[in-house]
């Protein structure tokens, strides 16, 4: 019996750690070839080795999404070298008001990574998807971009919340722009889960908190949307801790 993602090629940003790394493992197990994008070449190489150990295919591209010229150059290379079926925009950084008091540069970094980098890569690949009249753009956002979720209160992380609302707006605009095409658009809005995003930002309570979901459970929700039939599109998924 063929695997659910057999023959698919999936591009994943933020693939070196956290949810991105977990998604890489899960889609590879389902038969997909994975294109790994992040800034840390060594970590990406380690992920590539882990995928090859299970008989999968993985390709490494180092890129800083905060540099638009580099993103566009990488996208052009991807189009030449791979038949891309799915783009998962997962890369992101955490910031909050308290951290920004001593590190105000986090505001710009968050906007560039969480929003502009994703838009730049998506827009660079969109003509390719249109030319094929197929594809799936899967934007990992956050429940911080959903007002009717308990974790949608951004009063203590205003910049981070703003980046997620920006991505929600962009995702909704894509849905409208591509509604007459077979190209799928999904906005994925998970609440807090246990990964290294808080640790990287410098939070003391970065792991093992009662409000955190398991990263594997969050990834499974994403996999559900990614493995639907070609004529079924899940536009929005909100995943929160019960």
Rounded to 10°, the helix 18-29/215-226 angle is 50
Angle of helix 18-29 versus helix 41-53 axis, rounded to 10: 20
189 is catalytic: no
Catalytic residue among 61, 160, 170, 189: 160
Q: What is the 3-state secondary structure (H, E, C) of 2-32?
A: CCCCCCCEEEEECCCCHHHHHHHHHHHHCCC
Active site residues: 160
């Amino acid at each position: 019996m063929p695997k659910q993602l057999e023959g698919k090629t999936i591009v994943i940003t933020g693939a070196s750690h956290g949810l991105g790394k977990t998604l890489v493992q899960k889609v590879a197990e389902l038969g997909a070839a994975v294109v790994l994008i992040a800034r840390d070449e060594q970590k990406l190489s380690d992920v590539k080795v882990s995928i090859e150990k299970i008989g999968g295919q993985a390709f490494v591209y180092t890129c800083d999404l905060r540099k638009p010229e580099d993103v566009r150059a990488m996208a052009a290379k991807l189009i030449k070298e791979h038949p891309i079926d799915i783009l998962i925009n997962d890369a992101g950084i955490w910031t909050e008001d308290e951290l920004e008091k001593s590190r105000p540069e986090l505001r710009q970094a968050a906007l560039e990574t969480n929003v502009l980098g994703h838009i730049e890569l998506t827009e660079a690949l969109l003509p390719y998807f249109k030319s094929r009249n197929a594809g799936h753009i899967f934007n990992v956002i956050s429940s911080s971009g959903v007002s009717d979720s308990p974790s949608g209160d951004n009063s203590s992380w205003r910049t981070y919340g703003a980046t997620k609302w920006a991505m929600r707006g962009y995702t909704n605009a894509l849905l409208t722009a591509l509604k007459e095409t077979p190209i799928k658009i999904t906005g994925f809005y998970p609440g807090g889960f246990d990964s290294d995003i808080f640790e990287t930002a410098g939070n003391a309570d970065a792991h093992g908190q009662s409000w955190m979901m398991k990263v594997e459970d969050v990834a499974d929700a994403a996999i559900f949307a990614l493995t639907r039939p070609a004529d079924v599109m899940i536009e929005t998924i909100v995943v929160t801790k019960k």
